[in-house]
Amino acid sequence: MKNEPWLGDACSLVDAFRSGAREPSEVLEATISALDDSSLNATSHIDVEAARMAAASADVSLPFGGVPIAIKELESVAGWPSTEASLVFRDRVATHDSTQVTRLRAAGAVIAAQTTASEFGGINCTNTKLHGTTRNPWNLAKTPGGSSGGSAAVVAGGLIPIASGGDGGGSIRIPAGFTGLFGLKSTFGRIPKGPHAHQPPLTVTVGCLSRSVRDTARWFDVCNGFDPRDTLSLPRVSGWEAGLDSFDLAGKRAVISIDLGAAIVEPRQTELLISLSEVLIKNAKLRRVDLALRFPNGGLEWSLSNLIGLAGTLGDRYPACHDDLTSEIQLGMTMATKMFSLESAGAAEMFRIEMNEYMAGVFEQTDFIFAASNPDVAFAAEGPMATTVGGVDLIAEYGFNRAIGNNGALTIPANLTGNPAISIPAGQIDGLPFGLQVIGRHHEEQLLLDLARVAERENPWLLVAPPLS
C-alpha cells in the first residue's frame, strides 16, 4: 500500500521506483510516519528535511536510488549527533560523513535516520542512559541485540528497508540472529572505516543489516574498496551482486560445530541448527567433514584490546565521566584500569597469535564452519546480558566471567582473526528468531553469499517480523 513503508527488500524497492509503481518521496513520507509512530525506540535522529530533498531529486537509475537508509549512531553523518550512544558526548555533532555514508549517497541512497546502538558498541544489548531501551519487533519485551540493535529493529520491524551496522565482536551477526535478518561480517578491512579510522584493535568491520542476500551484495558493491583514510582497508572487489549464484560450491568442505567448542548453546537450538546445517550442506552439494573444534575463549583479551580505543576516545574526560557511563562500560573501564599493563597487553597479543593459528589450522581442513549466531534467542530488552541458557545458571555452573563471555563466544573468534562470517535466518523458537552462523576463509565473502542464497531459495525467511497481536 502506498501509505505504508516498503516491506520488501531494498533491491525490489529500486525496481518499483524504476517501473513507476512507487515514488521515492511517497515511500519516504510513509517511512517517516512509521518511524514517528513506532514503539521500538530504534532511532535517535531523523533528518526529515534533508531526506525529503534527497528523495525529491533521487536518481533511481543508481544502485540505491531513492531508497531510505538508516545509519547506525556509531557512524558519522555530517551535521547529525555524534554521541557514541553515550551521555558523555550527548552534545557532540559530526563534522563529516564516514566513507561508507559518502559512497551510499553517491549510489542514490536517501540517508534518512540514525539508529540506536549500545554505548560505544560495547555489548550485545541496545539499552543506554542516553536513549533508553530499544526493542525487538518480534517481541517488545526482548532485545534486538547489539551493538547494531536499532538498525536490526528498524529493518526487521518493517520501517526501513536496509541499515548500516558494524561488527567488532558480533554486532551485525548477533542482532541479525535475534531479529531474523541476514548479516555479513566481512573480511577485516573490506569496507573502510574512515575518516579518522581507529587502527587497533583490528576487529571492527562495517556493513549492513538486510532482508535479503542480494541487498547485502549490492551494499558491498557500493561500499567496498580502499580509502587512504583507512590504511588497513582492502582494494576494491567488483561484481558482488552480479556474481551471485555463479560460484561452484560443490565438493567444498564444511564442519558443523554449533558451539565452536567454546560456548554453551540452548539445546533445542543446537538440535535445529544441526538439522538445518545438514540440509544446507546437502542442497549446496558440500562435503561434510568431522572435526572436534575447541576455539580458545578470548573474551577477556578481546575486551582489553577494545578498551584501549575507548580510553583514547574518552581521553581526559575519564574518570570524571564514570557516572555518565552505562554499568557495562563502567565495569569495562574499571577492569581495564586495574588490569591493563605491558604484561597484559603482551599476553593479549600472544593470545591473538594463538587464535590466528588455530583458525588457520581449521581452514586447512575445511572451507566453512557452521555454528550458532547466538547461544540462545533474544533475552530481556533492558538487559542484563543473558547468564542463563537452556535453564542452566551459567554463573553458578561456570563462574561470572565465563557466563558473561558466553554472549560473544560464538562471534568474537571471527573478529579476532578477521575472517568473514554470516548469519542466516534459521527459524524461530518460542516465537523468536535464531540464526545460523557460517564462518569462511579470508576474502571469500562471495562464497558465503552464494551459500546463503542456497538457504534463501530452499528455506525462504520472513523479510519482516509478523505484526504483534
Q: Could you write out the three-class secondary structure of the chain?
A: CCCCCCCCCHHHHHHHHHHCCCCHHHHHHHHHHHHHHCCCCCEEEECHHHHHHHHHCCCCCCCCCCCEEEEECCCCCCCCECCCCCHHHCCCECCCCCHHHHHHHHCCCEEEEEECCCHHHCCCCCEECCCEECCECCECCECCCCCCHHHHHHHHCCCCCEEEEEECCCCCHHHHHHHCCEEEECCCCCCCCCCCCCCCCCCCEEEEEECCHHHHHHHHHHHCCCECCECCCCCCCCCCCCCCCCCCCCCCEEEECCCCCCCCCCHHHHHHHHHHHHHHHHHCCCEECCCCCCCCCCHHHHHHHHHHHHHHHHHHHCCCCHHHCCHHHHHHHHHHHHHCCHHHHHHHHHHHHHHHHHHHHHHCCCCEEEEECCCCCCCECCCCCCCEECCEEHHHHHCHHHHHHHHHCCCHHHHHHCCCEEEEEEEEECCEEEEEEEEECCCCHHHHHHHHHHHHHHCCCCCCCCCCC
- Cβ(59)–Cβ(108) under 8 Å? yes
Residue 401, pLDDT score:
86
**Per-residue pLDDT reduced to its tens digit, 155-171:** 999 999 999 999 999 99
- For residue 72, indicate whether it is catalytic: yes
Mean per-residue pLDDT, 215-230:
98
Domains of the chain: 10-223 (3.90.1300.10), 253-458 (3.90.1300.10)
CA distance 340 to 64: 45
Q: How far is CA 440 from the centre of its chain?
A: 16
Residue 1, pLDDT score:
60
Measured between alpha carbons, how far is residue 345 from residues 174, 308, 320, 337 in Å?
A: 27, 10, 25, 12
CA distance 468 to 446: 35
Residue 71 pLDDT > 70: yes
Residue 345, pLDDT score:
86
- For residue 252, indicate whether it is catalytic: no
Residue 114 pLDDT > 80: yes
**Per-residue pLDDT reduced to its tens digit, 289-335:** 999 999 998 777 888 878 888 999 999 999 999 999 999 999 999 98
- Cβ(110)–Cβ(66) under 8 Å? yes
Residue 254, pLDDT score:
98
Residue 303, pLDDT score:
83
Q: What b/e sequence results for 261-300 when a residue is b if at least 16 CB atoms lie within 10 Å of its CB, and e otherwise?
A: ebbbbbeebbebbeebbeebbeebebeeeeeebebbbbbb
- Going by C-alpha positions, the residue among 426, 420, 429, 418 that lies closest to residue 449 is 420
Helices 48-56 and 24-37 sit at what angle, rounded to 10 degrees?
A: 160
Residue 376 pLDDT > 90: yes
CA distance 312 to 304: 13
CA distance 47 to 41: 16
The catalytically annotated residue of 25, 147, 164, 423 is 147
Residue 253, pLDDT score:
98
Mean per-residue pLDDT, 362-373:
98
Q: Poorest-confidence range of 65-69, 96-100, 190-194, 401-405?
A: 401-405
Mean per-residue pLDDT, 354-378:
98
% the chain with pLDDT above 70 = 100
The catalytically annotated residue of 25, 118, 171, 210 is 171
**Per-residue pLDDT reduced to its tens digit, 9-31:** 999 999 999 999 999 999 999 99
Residue 241, pLDDT score:
98
Whether the model clears a pTM of 0.75, i.e. scores above it, the answer is: yes
Mean per-residue pLDDT, 398-424:
95
Tell me whether strands 205-210 and 253-256 are parallel, antiparallel or unpaired.
Answer: unpaired
% the chain with pLDDT above 90 = 91
The catalytically annotated residue of 12, 44, 72, 423 is 72
